[in-house]
């Protein structure tokens, strides 16, 4: 079996989980290199985990890997994607909200024969949404409820002086389009961007975001009305060690990577 060499950008909760599983072994996949903001800290962790993997700069990914997995702050998406796409390689993007204003990266992938992959992440049912989009989707509405700590520091809250501290009841902190949500909550609602890319686009996909002190999980509900089906999907994600993201995100990355070389691939 041909091996697909994987680079990981970012060594937070998601990056570490992916690195561990790749080291344990996934058919047809190997861990090629890692890039992170703190190389010394990364090397210490890799040594503790007995993972033999070079720590490199983002721009060096094309020399080492066939596919880069982005598990980093959205601000780094250009440095992660562009070098790989320039040489016709693949990038798996978790900060997909950062793709919305960067059509040029999608154009670059098309021109050079590269590919941008967006995993399901913390959401569910993107295959059903994508199938419905082959027909006509009339509306897509998403409602997100998160523990307040998972929203602290979001640019939309800071800009509008919205506090989520000391809440006793749920507070609606945002209502608008997926494009606006991606800009206002870049670390929190990439799920909305993924949903919009699978369906009717970021300007027609609507989202409400609640800071809810009763929540211990990151909860998302999707309502879709189309000419082929009407459906509602709900998921409750257990937060990872990073409260802004759920444990299911890393597992979604691994599931998509595994499918690349699987003899049986299930789902759209």
Which of the residues are catalytic? 220
Task: Give CA–CA dist 112/259, Å, rounded.
Answer: 24
3-state secondary structure of 137: strand
Burial group, residue 75, by CB count within 10 angstroms (0-12, 13-18, 19+): exposed
Least Cα distance to 76 among 66, 87, 91, 55 occurs for: 91
On whether the CB atoms of residues 67 and 5 are closer than 8 A, the answer is yes
Least Cα distance to 139 among 47, 232, 16 occurs for: 232
DSSP 2-30: PPEEEEEE--SHHHHHHHHHHHH-BTTEE
Task: Give CA–CA dist 268/155, Å, rounded.
Answer: 34
On whether the CB atoms of residues 11 and 34 are closer than 8 A, the answer is yes
């Amino acid at each position: 079996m041909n091996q697909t060499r994987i680079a990981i950008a970012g060594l937070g909760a998601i990056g570490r989980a992916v690195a561990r599983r790749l080291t344990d072994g996934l058919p047809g996949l190997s861990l090629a290199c890692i890039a992170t903001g703190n190389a010394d800290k990364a090397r210490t962790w890799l040594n503790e985990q007995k993972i033999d993997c070079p720590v490199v700069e983002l721009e060096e990914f094309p020399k080492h890997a066939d596919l880069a997995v982005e598990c980093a702050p959205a601000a780094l998406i250009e440095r992660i994607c562009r070098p790989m796409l320039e040489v016709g390689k693949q990038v798996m993007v978790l900060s997909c909200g950062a793709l919305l204003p960067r059509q040029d990266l999608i154009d670059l992938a098309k021109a050079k024969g590269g590919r941008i992959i967006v995993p399901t992440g913390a959401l569910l049912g993107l295959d059903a949404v994508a199938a419905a989009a082959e027909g006509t989707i009339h509306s897509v509405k998403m409602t997100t409820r998160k523990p307040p700590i998972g929203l602290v520091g979001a640019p939309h809250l800071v800009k509008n002086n919205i506090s989520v501290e000391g809440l006793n009841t749920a507070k609606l902190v945002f209502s608008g389009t997926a494009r606006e949500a991606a800009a206002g909550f870049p670390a929190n609602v990439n799920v909305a961007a993924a949903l919009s890319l699978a369906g009717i686009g970021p300007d027609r996909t609507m989202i409400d975001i609640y800071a809810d002190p009763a929540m211990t999980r990151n909860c998302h509900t999707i309502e879709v009305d189309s000419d082929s089906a009407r459906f509602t999907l709900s998921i409750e994600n257990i937060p990872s060690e990073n409260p802004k993201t759920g444990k299911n995100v890393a597992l979604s990355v691994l599931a998509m990577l595994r499918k690349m070389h699987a003899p049986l691939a299930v789902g759209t």
